[in-house]
Amino acid sequence: MIKIFIIEDDSVIAEKIKQHLENWGYEAAIVQDFRKVLPEFIAFDPQLILMDVSLPCFSGYYWCGEIRKMSKVPIIFVSSASDNMNIVRAVDMGGDDYITKPFDFQVLMAKVQAMLRRTYDFGDSGSLMEHNGLIFNLSNTTITYDGQKQELTKNEARILQKLMENRGKIVKRDKLMMSLWETENFVDDSALYTNINRLRKKLEQLGLADYISTKKGEGYLIEG
């Protein structure tokens, strides 16, 4: 499970972030002692850090510098300071992204997911997925069935990957939208619907008319 370390001194915000991360299947921990950020980071060994700038004892910039002496773990700064000077300083100290408060939790989750995708190639363990005769090549985003091949767009490939990874389970619409949300540009239901329809047409052209099922009011499903 991917672990995310929250270095935030506002307990209400920290708990809300932790709850959202856990709802999306991540393991999250909040720093307990702001004098011992480094040993807590080492003990938890996270794949990503969410770091406030204004902290007790030492600033987030200081802790970012200390962490960078031993680790390249991605760090997203979360701060109420929105001026360019703070953003530039965050990057100079080794930060990878910057979110200003107040923020939308969907934006936060989109940035977290995008950062994890850019930093860790989770597809290295296998570039091919197969289910019920359909072969999905993640490296070149093509699908093959019964000797026929179709090319997918990046969005179509992301949808299919999410559904195949969760085959036999309903994948909710909001999770599919998050998988398409590479930037802060909002992806709404109509955009998801359009991409699903395009993917279905390509599957139909291969002879797989009912490969993706719609569960009304819930999401989409590839039968296990």
Q: Cβ(26)–Cβ(109) under 8 Å?
A: no
Res 123: pLDDT? 45
Structure confidence at residue 154 (pLDDT): 84
The pLDDT score that the predictor gives to residue 114 is: 86
Q: Same structural domain for residues 34 and 140?
A: no
- Tell me, what's the pLDDT at 121? 55
Length of the chain: 224
Whole-number pLDDT of residue 188: 65
For residues 23 and 113, state if they share a domain. Answer: yes
pLDDT number for residue 187: 59
Q: Which amino acid is at 208?
A: L
At 70, is the secondary structure helix, strand, or coil?
coil
User: In the prediction, which pLDDT does 164 show?
Assistant: 93
- Per-residue pLDDT, 127: 66
Q: State the 10-residue block means of pLDDT for the chain, 224 residues long.
A: 92 94 91 94 93 92 90 90 80 87 87 84 58 83 86 89 92 84 59 89 94 92 88
Q: Are residues 113 and 131 in the same domain?
A: no
Helix axes 173-180, 189-205, angle to 10 degrees: 90
Domain membership of residue 114 as a residue range:
3-119
- Specify the pLDDT at position 11: 94
Are 65 and 100 contained in the same domain?
A: yes
Which of 104, 119, 134 is the last residue in one of the domains? 119
Q: What is residue 178's predicted lDDT score, i.e. its pLDDT?
A: 79
CATH number (domain holding residue 107): 3.40.50.2300
104 and 8 share one domain? yes
Rounded Cα gap, residues 26 and 24, in angstroms: 6
